[in-house]
Amino acid sequence: MSVNALGHLAISTSKLDEWIEFAGNVLGMQVCPGGPDGTTRFRIDERSYRLEFEEGADDQLVRIGWEVPDAAGLEAVVARLEQDGLTVQRCGEEEAAARDVQGLVKTVDSSGFNLEFFYGQRKSVEPFISPRSATFVTGGLGLGHVVLMTPVFDDAVRFYTEVLGFRLSDTLRLGPARVAFLRCNARHHSVALIDAPAKGIHHFMVEVEEMDSVGRAYDACRDGGAEIMMDLGRHSNDEMFSFYAKTPSGFGLEYGHGGVLVDDSTWTVTEIAGPSLWGHRGSMV
């Protein structure tokens, strides 16, 4: 596979103070010292950051950072992107250093999402300390997953599978909307695509090692930390025990535990009948 993992997400927000409170005191992420150009970054593991926030009037996803193994892997991705007709911007050392990576390229996919591909992200010498004693499931599995709405669903699935080397885990129909779950490592999906009239982020997910961490974050939301969009439940495909909270930017955040790890040698693609085995009552609208 060309891409190893979902490395980081960047979000533009007009509600930075609310994000600091939500990400830190509710989710258990660690606020980093100021990033470049006034950005605010959050850690969830030994990496220098996994989430980056910049001031902006429109709360939206700014870019998605996909990790590749090394310089050769980055060149392989560039070749595939250019062969697919995309314009690729090679970033210089200064811009790569600002992202805390050794190599960096940028492109825009057919849905209109800004994508970055990188290798060699910096690891912090300071230990990750969660304000809520949460331990996040990352490592080779990456940040978690991101779910994107796209008006060019079929081409987006083709791009992630044929160009970037992702594998289809399974599919779902939500009324007339089609959903595809795609993996680039053992995590059931690092990206999911929803057939929708306009592009946008639906939600992103972070996973924690202990079920109790999910319960504590859920209680923190119920105590006023954030609006619960979907109640506790377990998904039918990745078996994640989770709930969904409304972020300060308005889109969803899934906070989960116990996601299944896919064995490529035995996995079979299916269409699941519904998103959850139980629970997850509520609405993401």
pLDDT tens for the chain, residues 1 to 285 = 589 999 999 999 999 999 999 999 999 999 997 778 889 999 999 999 999 999 988 899 999 999 999 999 999 999 999 999 999 999 999 999 999 999 999 999 999 999 999 999 999 999 999 999 999 999 999 999 999 999 999 999 999 999 999 999 999 998 889 999 999 999 999 999 999 999 999 999 999 999 999 999 999 999 999 999 999 999 999 999 999 999 999 999 999 999 999 999 999 999 999 999 999 999 986
State how beta strands 276-279 and 228-235 pair. Answer: antiparallel
C-alpha span between 282 and 222 (Å, rounded): 14
Asked if residue 100 lies in contact with residue 10, where contact means CB atoms within 8 angstroms, the answer is: no
What residues pair up with 119 in beta bridges, in sequence order? 103
Closest-CA residue to 13 (of 32, 30, 31, 38): 38
pLDDT of residue 116: 98
User: Domain 139-279, what fold?
Assistant: 2,3-Dihydroxybiphenyl 1,2-Dioxygenase; domain 1 (3.10.180)
Asked if residue 151 lies in contact with residue 198, where contact means CB atoms within 8 angstroms, the answer is: yes
CATH topology identical between 5-119 and 139-279: yes
List of residues 6+ apart from 156 with CB closer than 8 A: 109, 110, 111, 148, 150, 193
Asked if residue 253 lies in contact with residue 285, where contact means CB atoms within 8 angstroms, the answer is: no
pTM of the complete model? 0.97
Read off the amino acid at residue 199: K
Domain assignments of the chain as residue spans, ordered by start: 5-119, 139-279
pLDDT of residue 217: 98
In Å, the largest CA–CA distance within the chain is 51
Closest-CA residue to 179 (of 208, 200, 149, 158): 149
Token pair in block for residue 136 = 């996040």
| 85 dihedral zone (left: phi>0; alpha: psi -120 to 50; beta) | left
Asked if residue 22 lies in contact with residue 225, where contact means CB atoms within 8 angstroms, the answer is: yes
From residue 194, alpha-carbon distances to 29, 45, 248 in Å are 28, 29, 22
Neighbours of 37 (CB within 10 A): 8
pLDDT of residue 1: 54
What H or E segment, with its residue span, contains residue 175? none
pLDDT of residue 128: 97
CATH top class, domain 5-119:
alpha beta
Token pair in block for residue 276 = 């959850």
Where does residue 283 rank: exposed (0-12), middle (13-18), buried (19+ CB within 10 A)? exposed
pLDDT of residue 35: 78
What residues pair up with 10 in beta bridges, in sequence order? 52, 63
Read off the amino acid at residue 267: W
